[in-house]
Chain A
Amino acid sequence: MKTQNQRAWLFVTPVLLLVAFNALIPMMTVVNYSVQETFGNNLFFWQGLDWFEQVLRSERFHNALGRQFLFTFLILIIEVPLGIAIALAMPKQGPWVPFCLVTMALPMLIPWNVVGAMWNIFTLPDIGLLGYFMNHTLGISYDMTQNPFAAWVTIIVMDVWHWTSLVVLLAYAGLVSIPNAYYQAAEIDGASNWAVFRFIQLPKMKTVLTIAILLRFMDSFNIYTEPFVLTGGGPGNSTTLLSIDLVKIALGQFDLGPAAAMSLIYFAITLLASWLFYTLMTKNDNKS
């Protein structure tokens, strides 16, 4: 006889409560705002899906989303190959290993708003080290508060500086876990350096790279602090990424309904993209 009781629920309850308070309930309040209109005084009017429609049709949202995808695409296409290249170039053993690892980890330890402030000062045209060097030594006009292109270059370089290390460390972990016999076998099989990379190193790094790309995708797609401190979304709206735009709507204009709808759409896009990517990357793992 199997005894049937519901006691197992006791084990999951703490987790359910935790998830409820830190994710579900805050999220439901957002859902609540997204379908209502309020004029203050705690008065709410049912609005249905109007806000969603408004957000999805607004050109402002399209532009911010476009900038967001461009930003994420650019940093991924730079950071992932660069991270792999650095990991390949790092020593696999010897006294320099700890030095390299610590040096790599340093940028990641700096708080995000400090990174923004650092780069802000760094690029100031008249007193910043980089800004002064570009404008006065090289004679190249560079001012990210005036020129959208300069602003984009700066936020991209800043993100690459801040986060390439994450890809490096993950790729490095994948590389050092490859047994020496693989390299020896490849040498005996007469494989070229490219073949070693293509058929041994890259496949063995696949899992960690999947994680690295996922983390970099999510983080860069949700990025707020650094570009906000650095450019504040400017000049004009040229670096107004999704999250910056969202905060402007929610806290600047206090349009809670559209902001709530937008954050749900934002969340759905992040989730969908992550899920798609992960599914595609792991699709072949268990198939013969």
Chain B
Amino acid sequence: MAQIKLSNLRHSYLSKPESDEDYALKKIDLTWEDGGAYALLGPSGCGKSTLLNIISGLLVPSDGKILFDDQDVTALPPAKRNIAQVFQFPVIYDTMTVYDNLAFPLRNRGRDEETVKERVTAIAEMLEVTDMLTTRASNLSPDNKQKISMGRGLVRQDVNVVMFDEPLTVIDPHLKWKLRSKLKELHQRVKATMIYVTHDQTEALTFADQVVVMQDGEIVQIGTPVELFERPAHTFVGHFIGSPGMNVLPCDVKDGGVFFAGERIGLEGPLEDVTNGAAEIGIRPEFVSVSGNGTGLAAQVRKVADIGRHKVVEAIANNSRIHAILEGDAPNAGDQVNLEFKQSQTRLYKDGWLASTPGEGVQ
């Protein structure tokens, strides 16, 4: 168990990187606290897996250091780092039984058979695979194979960190949910630091206490699921988290206020040194209300999607698309409506980054 610190980390897959574009990871500074449940969230190709492989030692970073409890492990191979990693596709040793698969990491490290038996039995119990222990691993279903892969990650008691690289990709949807809650439960029982890489926001938000959002090799925001939802630090986070994502509307900053389609829009609080000119308003669809009473932004409804628990209204105002999530009644497509934004949840973004601060609302 250890605190993991990444300091000034940069990585390029090219031998002679020149510009920033050549880097898959651009300057990462990050500390993972001991025992935390983290998710690393971002779209495909944002550098999540690169970062994970650097922590596990499968990749050596171009620049920067990795510290486990202040000990520099940058040059150590994976086997010496005492970490565990579960991959996207289940990796099992076909010719071994489930028991031998789970015992493999322990036996390789020379543990005596008694300890091996004790640990394997305990892990099998947790994963509910006790009745399969004598089965040959190649005959298992994909979800059970992935359970065994996870088990091999968890079987060593003293690992510094267990990393999961999109482990539910090949799992059937109805089993995904089960395995996800299993993982959460496992984290509470084994208390190891866990890092869960995914591009699926639901997986990240259910598993993690802290979510690290990445884009283009950079960390955009670190926060609890609630923070990411309520105050995205970047419009990217706003887009990426939520379904549909945050509405981002082009606006003008002038005369100490913010204007969209000629109307002044109320913000959550004062602006932080925002120069006049183009900026963006960010508002979650959950905080947009729709009425026909003439107050608020005039818009036309383009379509309404009934997705069960609530309805998603897509409206057009001043050539910008705005989503609203409504409970109960919703207008019909083609209706002229008025949109109102909940002021305490309306934020300003300048060059993509959050520029408003919570406080007294400004009109």
Residues of chain A whose beta carbon lies under 8 Å from any beta carbon of chain B: 179, 181-182, 184-185, 187-192, 195, 199-200, 203-204, 284, 287-288
Contacts and interface: CB of A to CB of B under 8 A. Distances in A.
Interface of B: 53, 56, 58, 77-79, 83-85, 87-89, 91, 93-96, 104-105, 108-109, 135-136, 139, 149, 152
A173 B263 CA distance: 66
A281 to B, nearest CB: 13
B85 A191 contact: no
A181 B108 contact: no
6 contacts: A187-B58, A187-B77, A189-B105, A190-B79, A190-B109, A203-B93
Contact of A188 (B78, B135, B136): B78
A187 B87 contact: no
B79 A188 contact: yes
A185 B87 contact: yes
A232 to B, nearest CB: 46
A189 B58 contact: no
A192 B91 contact: no
A188 B77 CA distance: 9
Given A187-B78, A190-B105, A181 B88 contact: yes
* Majority-rule SS of A interface residues: helix
Contacts, number: 57
B58 A190 contact: no
A191 B94 contact: no
A184 B94 contact: no
Contact of A179 (B58, B78, B89, B95): B89
A200 B89 contact: no
Given A184-B58, A190-B109, 20 more contacts: A179-B91, A181-B91, A184-B78, A184-B85, A185-B85, A185-B149, A187-B78, A188-B56, A188-B79, A188-B84, A188-B105, A189-B152, A190-B79, A190-B105, A199-B95, A199-B96, A203-B95, A204-B94, A287-B139, A288-B135
Contacts of A190: 79, 105, 108-109
Contacts of A204: 94
Contact of B83 (A188, A200, A287): A188
Given A181-B87, A288-B135, A191 B95 contact: no
A192 B108 CA distance: 8
B87 A184 contact: yes
Contacts of A187: 58, 77-79
Contacts of B135: 288
Given A188-B56, A199-B93, A288 B136 contact: yes
Contacts of B77: 187
Nearest to B96: A199
A284 B95 CA distance: 10
A20 to B, nearest CB: 41
A279 to B, nearest CB: 18
B56 to A, nearest CB: 6
Contacts of A184: 53, 56, 58, 78, 85, 87
Nearest to B77: A187
